A = this chain, B = another copy of it.
Amino acid sequence: MSDDGRTLDPTDWEAVRSVGHRMVDTLVDGLRDVRHGPAWSPMPAEVKARFQAPAPRQGRGLEAAWAELQRSVLPYRLGNVHPRFWARVIGTGTVTGVLAAMAAAAMNNNLSGLESAAVHVEAQVVGWLKELMGFPASASGLLTSGCSLANLIGLQVARDSRGGPAVKAEGLQSVPGRLVGYASEEAHSSVARAFAVLGLGNASLRRIPVDESLRMSLPALERAIENDLRAGLRPFCVVGSAGTVNTGATDPLEALADLARARGLVFHVDAAFGAWARISPLLSDQVRGLERADSIAFDLHKWGAVPYGVGCVLVRDAEAHRRTFQASAAYLAPHPRGVSAADYAGHELGPELSRPFRALGPWMAFQEHGLDRLREVVEKNVEQAARVAARVRQEPELELTAPAPLNVVTFRYRGQGLEGADLDALNAEVVMRIQESGVAVPSTTRLRGRTVIRLAIVNHRSLDEDFDVLLDAVLQTGRAVAAQR
Protein backbone atom coordinates (compact mmCIF):
# COMPACT_ATOMS: atom_id res chain seq x y z
CA MET A 1 0.00 0.00 0.00
CA SER A 2 1.18 3.48 -0.84
CA ASP A 3 1.09 4.74 2.68
CA ASP A 4 2.99 8.02 2.58
CA GLY A 5 2.23 8.89 6.19
CA ARG A 6 -0.42 11.47 5.35
CA THR A 7 -2.93 10.10 7.83
CA LEU A 8 -4.09 10.93 11.33
CA ASP A 9 -3.63 7.36 12.44
CA PRO A 10 -0.74 6.79 14.82
CA THR A 11 2.39 5.01 13.75
CA ASP A 12 2.64 3.37 17.15
CA TRP A 13 -0.69 1.87 18.17
CA GLU A 14 0.78 0.43 21.36
CA ALA A 15 1.60 3.96 22.48
CA VAL A 16 -2.04 4.95 21.95
CA ARG A 17 -3.19 1.97 23.93
CA SER A 18 -0.84 2.97 26.73
CA VAL A 19 -2.19 6.52 26.86
CA GLY A 20 -5.69 5.09 26.75
CA HIS A 21 -5.05 2.85 29.74
CA ARG A 22 -3.50 5.66 31.73
CA MET A 23 -6.37 7.93 30.78
CA VAL A 24 -8.89 5.35 31.99
CA ASP A 25 -6.98 5.09 35.27
CA THR A 26 -6.75 8.84 35.76
CA LEU A 27 -10.37 9.52 34.88
CA VAL A 28 -11.81 6.57 36.83
CA ASP A 29 -9.68 7.39 39.87
CA GLY A 30 -10.69 11.02 39.54
CA LEU A 31 -14.35 10.12 39.78
CA ARG A 32 -13.77 7.61 42.57
CA ASP A 33 -11.92 10.21 44.64
CA VAL A 34 -13.86 13.30 43.60
CA ARG A 35 -15.37 13.70 47.08
CA HIS A 36 -11.96 14.35 48.57
CA GLY A 37 -11.15 17.33 46.37
CA PRO A 38 -12.74 20.76 46.02
CA ALA A 39 -16.14 21.01 44.38
CA TRP A 40 -14.77 23.79 42.17
CA SER A 41 -11.48 25.64 41.77
CA PRO A 42 -10.99 28.94 40.01
CA MET A 43 -8.41 28.81 37.24
CA PRO A 44 -5.27 30.82 38.05
CA ALA A 45 -4.35 33.60 35.63
CA GLU A 46 -1.17 31.82 34.52
CA VAL A 47 -3.21 28.79 33.48
CA LYS A 48 -5.73 30.97 31.66
CA ALA A 49 -2.86 32.51 29.74
CA ARG A 50 -1.97 29.13 28.26
CA PHE A 51 -5.23 29.20 26.33
CA GLN A 52 -4.05 32.25 24.40
CA ALA A 53 -1.50 30.22 22.45
CA PRO A 54 -1.97 29.97 18.68
CA ALA A 55 -2.68 26.67 16.95
CA PRO A 56 0.52 24.64 16.65
CA ARG A 57 1.92 24.24 13.15
CA GLN A 58 3.77 21.09 14.07
CA GLY A 59 2.01 18.36 15.97
CA ARG A 60 3.29 17.54 19.42
CA GLY A 61 1.99 14.01 19.52
CA LEU A 62 -0.58 12.32 21.68
CA GLU A 63 1.61 12.00 24.76
CA ALA A 64 2.13 15.77 24.87
CA ALA A 65 -1.56 16.47 24.25
CA TRP A 66 -2.46 14.16 27.12
CA ALA A 67 0.09 15.86 29.38
CA GLU A 68 -1.35 19.28 28.54
CA LEU A 69 -4.85 18.01 29.18
CA GLN A 70 -3.81 16.85 32.65
CA ARG A 71 -1.92 20.03 33.39
CA SER A 72 -4.33 22.71 32.17
CA VAL A 73 -7.77 21.23 31.70
CA LEU A 74 -8.66 18.34 33.99
CA PRO A 75 -8.03 20.23 37.27
CA TYR A 76 -10.49 22.96 36.30
CA ARG A 77 -13.66 21.06 35.58
CA LEU A 78 -16.96 22.72 36.33
CA GLY A 79 -17.47 20.56 39.39
CA ASN A 80 -20.82 18.98 38.64
CA VAL A 81 -19.29 15.53 39.10
CA HIS A 82 -18.72 16.45 42.76
CA PRO A 83 -21.22 15.32 45.43
CA ARG A 84 -21.71 18.90 46.65
CA PHE A 85 -22.50 20.58 43.33
CA TRP A 86 -26.09 21.78 43.07
CA ALA A 87 -25.84 24.91 40.88
CA ARG A 88 -28.23 25.50 37.98
CA VAL A 89 -29.71 22.08 37.19
CA ILE A 90 -26.62 20.23 36.09
CA GLY A 91 -26.35 16.48 36.07
CA THR A 92 -23.54 14.46 37.57
CA GLY A 93 -23.00 11.85 34.87
CA THR A 94 -21.58 8.42 35.58
CA VAL A 95 -18.38 6.53 35.05
CA THR A 96 -20.19 4.21 32.66
CA GLY A 97 -21.25 7.26 30.71
CA VAL A 98 -17.56 8.02 30.30
CA LEU A 99 -16.90 4.61 28.80
CA ALA A 100 -19.99 4.83 26.60
CA ALA A 101 -18.77 8.16 25.22
CA MET A 102 -15.50 6.51 24.26
CA ALA A 103 -17.30 3.69 22.49
CA ALA A 104 -19.64 6.07 20.67
CA ALA A 105 -16.70 8.13 19.43
CA ALA A 106 -14.90 4.98 18.26
CA MET A 107 -17.91 3.87 16.24
CA ASN A 108 -18.28 7.48 15.11
CA ASN A 109 -21.76 6.90 13.74
CA ASN A 110 -23.56 9.68 12.01
CA LEU A 111 -27.28 9.17 12.52
CA SER A 112 -28.47 10.83 9.36
CA GLY A 113 -30.66 8.14 7.87
CA LEU A 114 -28.03 5.49 7.17
CA GLU A 115 -28.28 1.95 8.46
CA SER A 116 -26.11 1.05 11.44
CA ALA A 117 -26.56 -0.30 14.93
CA ALA A 118 -26.72 3.27 16.17
CA VAL A 119 -30.14 3.93 14.67
CA HIS A 120 -31.50 0.79 16.33
CA VAL A 121 -30.02 1.83 19.67
CA GLU A 122 -31.62 5.26 19.37
CA ALA A 123 -34.99 3.76 18.38
CA GLN A 124 -34.83 1.45 21.39
CA VAL A 125 -33.93 4.23 23.81
CA VAL A 126 -36.66 6.49 22.42
CA GLY A 127 -39.07 3.58 22.76
CA TRP A 128 -38.10 3.14 26.40
CA LEU A 129 -38.60 6.84 27.03
CA LYS A 130 -42.00 6.84 25.35
CA GLU A 131 -43.06 4.05 27.67
CA LEU A 132 -41.68 5.78 30.75
CA MET A 133 -43.46 9.01 29.88
CA GLY A 134 -46.76 7.30 29.11
CA PHE A 135 -46.61 8.12 25.42
CA PRO A 136 -48.02 5.66 22.88
CA ALA A 137 -45.71 3.55 20.74
CA SER A 138 -47.02 5.43 17.71
CA ALA A 139 -45.49 8.69 18.98
CA SER A 140 -42.20 9.85 17.55
CA GLY A 141 -39.15 10.96 19.40
CA LEU A 142 -35.66 12.26 18.93
CA LEU A 143 -32.57 12.61 21.07
CA THR A 144 -31.20 16.15 21.01
CA SER A 145 -28.27 17.93 22.63
CA GLY A 146 -30.56 19.01 25.44
CA CYS A 147 -33.89 20.41 26.39
CA SER A 148 -33.44 23.75 24.61
CA LEU A 149 -33.51 22.04 21.23
CA ALA A 150 -36.17 19.58 22.40
CA ASN A 151 -38.41 22.52 23.30
CA LEU A 152 -37.59 24.16 19.98
CA ILE A 153 -38.61 21.05 18.05
CA GLY A 154 -41.83 20.56 19.99
CA LEU A 155 -42.78 24.19 19.47
CA GLN A 156 -41.94 24.12 15.77
CA VAL A 157 -44.26 21.14 15.32
CA ALA A 158 -46.92 23.12 17.23
CA ARG A 159 -46.33 26.24 15.13
CA ASP A 160 -46.54 24.41 11.83
CA SER A 161 -49.45 22.14 12.70
CA ARG A 162 -51.60 25.02 13.95
CA GLY A 163 -50.27 27.69 11.60
CA GLY A 164 -50.89 25.48 8.57
CA PRO A 165 -48.64 24.30 5.76
CA ALA A 166 -47.99 27.86 4.57
CA VAL A 167 -45.75 28.46 7.58
CA LYS A 168 -43.13 25.95 6.44
CA ALA A 169 -43.59 26.67 2.74
CA GLU A 170 -44.00 30.44 2.58
CA GLY A 171 -43.08 31.65 6.06
CA LEU A 172 -44.86 33.41 8.87
CA GLN A 173 -44.99 36.70 7.00
CA SER A 174 -47.39 35.04 4.56
CA VAL A 175 -49.70 33.84 7.33
CA PRO A 176 -52.41 36.18 8.63
CA GLY A 177 -53.24 36.31 12.33
CA ARG A 178 -50.42 36.48 14.83
CA LEU A 179 -49.70 33.13 16.49
CA VAL A 180 -49.38 33.43 20.25
CA GLY A 181 -48.58 30.90 22.96
CA TYR A 182 -48.68 30.77 26.74
CA ALA A 183 -46.33 29.76 29.51
CA SER A 184 -46.00 30.77 33.13
CA GLU A 185 -43.74 33.50 34.41
CA GLU A 186 -41.63 30.73 35.88
CA ALA A 187 -41.19 28.87 32.58
CA HIS A 188 -37.63 28.29 31.43
CA SER A 189 -35.87 30.87 29.29
CA SER A 190 -35.42 28.32 26.50
CA VAL A 191 -39.15 28.50 25.75
CA ALA A 192 -39.03 32.22 24.97
CA ARG A 193 -35.79 31.71 23.11
CA ALA A 194 -37.46 29.06 20.96
CA PHE A 195 -40.18 31.58 20.12
CA ALA A 196 -37.47 33.95 18.92
CA VAL A 197 -35.68 31.29 16.86
CA LEU A 198 -38.95 30.20 15.25
CA GLY A 199 -39.73 33.73 14.12
CA LEU A 200 -42.73 33.96 16.46
CA GLY A 201 -41.06 36.60 18.63
CA ASN A 202 -40.40 36.64 22.36
CA ALA A 203 -43.50 38.67 23.05
CA SER A 204 -45.73 36.15 21.33
CA LEU A 205 -45.07 33.93 24.33
CA ARG A 206 -47.48 35.34 26.88
CA ARG A 207 -46.10 35.02 30.40
CA ILE A 208 -48.92 34.02 32.71
CA PRO A 209 -48.75 34.90 36.43
CA VAL A 210 -48.31 32.12 38.96
CA ASP A 211 -50.18 31.29 42.16
CA GLU A 212 -48.56 31.19 45.61
CA SER A 213 -47.14 27.76 44.81
CA LEU A 214 -45.50 29.22 41.71
CA ARG A 215 -47.77 27.24 39.38
CA MET A 216 -49.43 28.80 36.38
CA SER A 217 -52.69 30.52 37.31
CA LEU A 218 -55.50 29.01 35.26
CA PRO A 219 -57.84 32.00 35.58
CA ALA A 220 -55.03 34.27 34.41
CA LEU A 221 -54.39 31.94 31.49
CA GLU A 222 -58.06 31.96 30.50
CA ARG A 223 -58.09 35.75 30.63
CA ALA A 224 -54.98 36.03 28.50
CA ILE A 225 -56.42 33.74 25.84
CA GLU A 226 -59.68 35.67 25.79
CA ASN A 227 -57.84 38.96 25.44
CA ASP A 228 -55.77 37.64 22.55
CA LEU A 229 -58.82 36.22 20.78
CA ARG A 230 -60.62 39.52 21.14
CA ALA A 231 -57.59 41.25 19.66
CA GLY A 232 -57.75 38.98 16.62
CA LEU A 233 -54.66 36.97 17.48
CA ARG A 234 -54.36 33.20 17.06
CA PRO A 235 -53.56 31.28 20.26
CA PHE A 236 -51.82 28.07 19.13
CA CYS A 237 -50.16 26.45 22.13
CA VAL A 238 -49.80 26.36 25.85
CA VAL A 239 -46.51 25.33 27.43
CA GLY A 240 -46.69 23.67 30.82
CA SER A 241 -43.68 23.34 33.09
CA ALA A 242 -43.07 20.09 34.93
CA GLY A 243 -40.49 21.11 37.51
CA THR A 244 -39.68 24.78 37.05
CA VAL A 245 -36.04 25.67 37.17
CA ASN A 246 -36.49 28.15 40.00
CA THR A 247 -38.36 26.02 42.52
CA GLY A 248 -39.32 22.66 41.01
CA ALA A 249 -42.99 23.63 40.86
CA THR A 250 -45.21 21.90 38.34
CA ASP A 251 -48.08 23.61 36.56
CA PRO A 252 -51.55 22.01 36.83
CA LEU A 253 -50.92 19.75 33.87
CA GLU A 254 -54.26 17.93 33.91
CA ALA A 255 -56.14 21.21 33.82
CA LEU A 256 -53.86 22.54 31.11
CA ALA A 257 -54.48 19.40 29.06
CA ASP A 258 -58.22 19.90 29.41
CA LEU A 259 -57.98 23.55 28.52
CA ALA A 260 -55.75 22.90 25.52
CA ARG A 261 -58.16 20.30 24.19
CA ALA A 262 -61.16 22.56 24.69
CA ARG A 263 -59.44 25.48 23.01
CA GLY A 264 -57.81 23.51 20.21
CA LEU A 265 -54.32 24.45 21.39
CA VAL A 266 -51.23 22.29 21.22
CA PHE A 267 -50.14 21.27 24.73
CA HIS A 268 -46.36 21.15 25.06
CA VAL A 269 -44.61 20.42 28.35
CA ASP A 270 -41.11 21.49 29.29
CA ALA A 271 -40.20 18.71 31.70
CA ALA A 272 -36.43 19.16 31.65
CA PHE A 273 -35.91 17.32 34.92
CA GLY A 274 -39.50 16.97 36.20
CA ALA A 275 -40.16 14.22 33.65
CA TRP A 276 -38.17 11.85 35.82
CA ALA A 277 -40.70 12.18 38.63
CA ARG A 278 -42.88 9.98 36.46
CA ILE A 279 -40.69 6.94 36.99
CA SER A 280 -41.43 6.86 40.73
CA PRO A 281 -44.87 5.90 42.12
CA LEU A 282 -44.04 8.18 45.05
CA LEU A 283 -43.62 11.21 42.82
CA SER A 284 -45.59 10.64 39.65
CA ASP A 285 -48.67 12.39 41.02
CA GLN A 286 -46.70 15.65 40.91
CA VAL A 287 -46.51 15.48 37.14
CA ARG A 288 -49.83 13.83 36.41
CA GLY A 289 -51.09 15.01 33.04
CA LEU A 290 -47.62 14.96 31.50
CA GLU A 291 -48.68 11.86 29.60
CA ARG A 292 -51.52 13.83 28.00
CA ALA A 293 -49.23 16.39 26.37
CA ASP A 294 -48.95 16.65 22.60
CA SER A 295 -45.20 16.92 23.03
CA ILE A 296 -42.75 16.89 25.88
CA ALA A 297 -39.13 17.93 26.17
CA PHE A 298 -36.76 16.63 28.83
CA ASP A 299 -33.13 15.97 29.53
CA LEU A 300 -31.20 12.79 30.07
CA HIS A 301 -28.07 14.60 31.23
CA LYS A 302 -29.79 15.92 34.36
CA TRP A 303 -31.63 13.16 36.22
CA GLY A 304 -31.19 10.66 33.43
CA ALA A 305 -27.69 9.63 34.45
CA VAL A 306 -25.68 10.35 31.33
CA PRO A 307 -22.97 12.89 30.56
CA TYR A 308 -23.71 15.99 28.47
CA GLY A 309 -25.43 16.50 26.15
CA VAL A 310 -28.53 14.39 25.71
CA GLY A 311 -32.11 15.59 25.73
CA CYS A 312 -35.25 14.15 24.20
CA VAL A 313 -38.41 15.36 22.55
CA LEU A 314 -41.47 13.14 22.21
CA VAL A 315 -44.28 14.10 19.84
CA ARG A 316 -47.63 12.35 19.96
CA ASP A 317 -48.48 13.01 16.31
CA ALA A 318 -45.58 11.38 14.51
CA GLU A 319 -46.86 12.49 11.12
CA ALA A 320 -47.01 16.15 12.14
CA HIS A 321 -43.50 15.81 13.54
CA ARG A 322 -42.10 14.38 10.34
CA ARG A 323 -44.01 16.78 8.13
CA THR A 324 -42.49 19.70 10.01
CA PHE A 325 -38.89 18.74 9.37
CA GLN A 326 -38.94 16.57 6.30
CA ALA A 327 -36.66 17.83 3.56
CA SER A 328 -35.34 16.27 0.45
CA ALA A 329 -31.95 16.29 -1.18
CA ALA A 330 -30.71 14.35 -4.15
CA TYR A 331 -27.68 12.97 -2.36
CA LEU A 332 -29.85 11.73 0.52
CA ALA A 333 -32.24 9.69 -1.62
CA PRO A 334 -32.65 6.23 -0.11
CA HIS A 335 -32.22 2.97 -1.99
CA PRO A 336 -34.07 -0.25 -1.22
CA ARG A 337 -30.91 -2.02 -0.04
CA GLY A 338 -27.51 -1.12 1.31
CA VAL A 339 -26.39 1.67 3.61
CA SER A 340 -29.17 4.09 2.74
CA ALA A 341 -32.00 1.58 3.28
CA ALA A 342 -32.40 2.39 6.98
CA ASP A 343 -35.93 2.45 8.32
CA TYR A 344 -35.07 5.54 10.28
CA ALA A 345 -36.22 9.12 10.25
CA GLY A 346 -34.11 10.85 12.91
CA HIS A 347 -32.69 13.32 10.42
CA GLU A 348 -36.25 14.26 9.47
CA LEU A 349 -37.42 14.99 13.00
CA GLY A 350 -35.30 17.99 13.89
CA PRO A 351 -33.05 20.70 12.54
CA GLU A 352 -29.90 18.52 12.42
CA LEU A 353 -28.94 16.38 9.44
CA SER A 354 -25.74 14.88 10.82
CA ARG A 355 -26.39 13.67 14.34
CA PRO A 356 -23.91 12.21 16.83
CA PHE A 357 -24.58 8.89 18.56
CA ARG A 358 -26.28 10.32 21.66
CA ALA A 359 -28.22 7.18 22.47
CA LEU A 360 -25.35 4.97 23.55
CA GLY A 361 -24.90 6.56 26.99
CA PRO A 362 -28.55 6.13 27.96
CA TRP A 363 -28.61 2.64 26.45
CA MET A 364 -25.64 1.58 28.58
CA ALA A 365 -27.06 3.30 31.66
CA PHE A 366 -30.42 1.58 31.42
CA GLN A 367 -28.73 -1.78 30.91
CA GLU A 368 -26.27 -1.36 33.74
CA HIS A 369 -28.40 0.31 36.38
CA GLY A 370 -31.92 -0.73 35.44
CA LEU A 371 -34.99 1.40 35.93
CA ASP A 372 -35.23 0.54 39.62
CA ARG A 373 -31.86 2.05 40.44
CA LEU A 374 -32.54 5.16 38.36
CA ARG A 375 -35.82 5.55 40.25
CA GLU A 376 -34.10 5.13 43.63
CA VAL A 377 -31.70 7.93 42.84
CA VAL A 378 -34.52 10.27 41.85
CA GLU A 379 -36.36 9.45 45.05
CA LYS A 380 -33.21 9.94 47.12
CA ASN A 381 -32.68 13.43 45.70
CA VAL A 382 -36.29 14.39 46.45
CA GLU A 383 -35.94 13.09 50.00
CA GLN A 384 -32.76 15.12 50.34
CA ALA A 385 -34.53 18.27 49.18
CA ALA A 386 -37.24 17.70 51.78
CA ARG A 387 -34.58 17.13 54.43
CA VAL A 388 -32.84 20.39 53.52
CA ALA A 389 -36.14 22.26 53.59
CA ALA A 390 -36.92 20.80 57.01
CA ARG A 391 -33.60 21.89 58.48
CA VAL A 392 -33.92 25.34 56.91
CA ARG A 393 -37.30 25.71 58.61
CA GLN A 394 -35.70 24.83 61.93
CA GLU A 395 -32.74 27.19 61.65
CA PRO A 396 -33.76 30.63 62.95
CA GLU A 397 -31.12 32.33 60.79
CA LEU A 398 -32.51 30.78 57.59
CA GLU A 399 -35.74 31.30 55.71
CA LEU A 400 -37.33 28.88 53.25
CA THR A 401 -38.39 31.09 50.34
CA ALA A 402 -40.65 28.76 48.36
CA PRO A 403 -42.22 25.33 48.63
CA ALA A 404 -39.79 22.55 47.70
CA PRO A 405 -42.10 19.93 46.21
CA LEU A 406 -39.46 18.13 44.18
CA ASN A 407 -35.69 18.51 44.13
CA VAL A 408 -35.13 22.27 44.17
CA VAL A 409 -34.78 24.13 47.47
CA THR A 410 -34.58 27.91 47.78
CA PHE A 411 -33.78 29.73 50.99
CA ARG A 412 -31.88 32.69 52.30
CA TYR A 413 -29.75 33.78 55.18
CA ARG A 414 -31.87 36.26 57.13
CA GLY A 415 -29.07 38.65 58.09
CA GLN A 416 -30.46 40.35 61.18
CA GLY A 417 -31.57 43.88 60.42
CA LEU A 418 -30.67 43.69 56.76
CA GLU A 419 -33.25 43.90 54.03
CA GLY A 420 -33.77 44.78 50.38
CA ALA A 421 -30.66 45.09 48.23
CA ASP A 422 -28.39 44.67 51.24
CA LEU A 423 -29.85 41.31 52.09
CA ASP A 424 -29.71 40.30 48.43
CA ALA A 425 -26.05 41.24 48.33
CA LEU A 426 -25.34 39.31 51.51
CA ASN A 427 -26.85 36.13 50.11
CA ALA A 428 -25.00 36.51 46.83
CA GLU A 429 -21.77 37.04 48.76
CA VAL A 430 -22.40 33.92 50.82
CA VAL A 431 -22.84 31.86 47.68
CA MET A 432 -19.73 33.28 46.05
CA ARG A 433 -17.60 32.62 49.13
CA ILE A 434 -18.82 29.06 49.45
CA GLN A 435 -18.14 28.43 45.76
CA GLU A 436 -14.67 29.92 46.06
CA SER A 437 -13.92 27.84 49.14
CA GLY A 438 -14.48 24.68 47.12
CA VAL A 439 -16.71 23.27 49.85
CA ALA A 440 -19.86 23.22 47.73
CA VAL A 441 -21.48 24.86 44.72
CA PRO A 442 -24.95 26.23 45.38
CA SER A 443 -26.22 28.99 43.13
CA THR A 444 -28.74 31.82 43.39
CA THR A 445 -31.91 32.87 41.74
CA ARG A 446 -34.41 35.71 42.09
CA LEU A 447 -37.81 34.91 43.57
CA ARG A 448 -40.43 37.62 43.86
CA GLY A 449 -37.73 40.24 43.52
CA ARG A 450 -35.39 38.78 46.12
CA THR A 451 -32.04 37.04 45.70
CA VAL A 452 -32.17 33.58 47.24
CA ILE A 453 -29.83 30.65 47.62
CA ARG A 454 -30.83 27.74 45.45
CA LEU A 455 -29.98 24.04 45.39
CA ALA A 456 -31.10 21.92 42.45
CA ILE A 457 -30.42 18.34 43.42
CA VAL A 458 -29.86 16.01 40.47
CA ASN A 459 -26.79 14.39 41.96
CA HIS A 460 -26.59 10.66 42.58
CA ARG A 461 -23.33 11.16 44.46
CA SER A 462 -24.76 13.45 47.18
CA LEU A 463 -25.13 11.97 50.65
CA ASP A 464 -27.40 13.44 53.29
CA GLU A 465 -24.37 14.72 55.19
CA ASP A 466 -23.29 16.76 52.18
CA PHE A 467 -26.24 19.05 52.67
CA ASP A 468 -25.38 19.56 56.31
CA VAL A 469 -21.91 20.59 55.24
CA LEU A 470 -23.49 23.16 52.92
CA LEU A 471 -25.98 24.49 55.48
CA ASP A 472 -23.25 24.75 58.12
CA ALA A 473 -21.18 26.71 55.62
CA VAL A 474 -24.11 29.01 54.85
CA LEU A 475 -24.65 29.75 58.53
CA GLN A 476 -20.98 30.32 59.23
CA THR A 477 -20.40 32.40 56.11
CA GLY A 478 -23.62 34.33 56.63
CA ARG A 479 -22.53 35.34 60.10
CA ALA A 480 -19.08 36.32 58.86
CA VAL A 481 -20.43 38.44 56.02
CA ALA A 482 -23.06 40.05 58.23
CA ALA A 483 -20.40 40.90 60.82
CA GLN A 484 -18.37 42.75 58.20
CA ARG A 485 -21.26 45.04 57.35
Contact = CB atoms under 8 A, between A and B. Distances in A.
Interface in A1-56: 1-4, 6-10, 13, 16-17, 19-21, 23-25, 27-32, 40, 42-43, 47-48, 51-56
A196 B326 CA distance: 10
Interface stretch (A187-195, A220-228, A259-267, A287-295): A187-195
Interface stretch (A165-173, A250-258, A411-419): A165-173
B203 A169 contact: yes
A203 to B, nearest CB: 5
B463 A2 contact: yes
A91 to B, nearest CB: 8
Tallying the copies of this chain within the complex gives 2
B356 A460 contact: no
A99 B174 contact: no
Contacts of A324: 196
B40 A339 contact: yes
A423 interface: no
A149 B361 CA distance: 22
A100 to B, nearest CB: 8
Interface majority SS (helix, strand, loop, mixed), chain A: helix
A237 to B, nearest CB: 14
Interface in A117-159: 117-118, 120-121, 123-124, 128, 131-132, 145-149, 152, 156, 159
Interface residues of A, number: 195
A96 interface: yes
Given A24-B21, A102-B99, A338-B436, A59 B172 contact: no
A335 interface: yes
Of residues A159, A204, A330, which shows the largest number of chain B Cβ atoms within 10 Å of its Cβ? A330
A393 interface: no
30 contacts: A4-B380, A6-B376, A16-B99, A20-B24, A27-B102, A27-B103, A27-B106, A42-B115, A42-B338, A64-B368, A65-B364, A73-B103, A73-B117, A78-B114, A87-B339, A98-B105, A101-B104, A105-B361, A145-B145, A168-B196, A168-B201, A168-B202, A169-B203, A170-B201, A174-B178, A196-B325, A309-B354, A335-B444, A338-B431, A338-B435
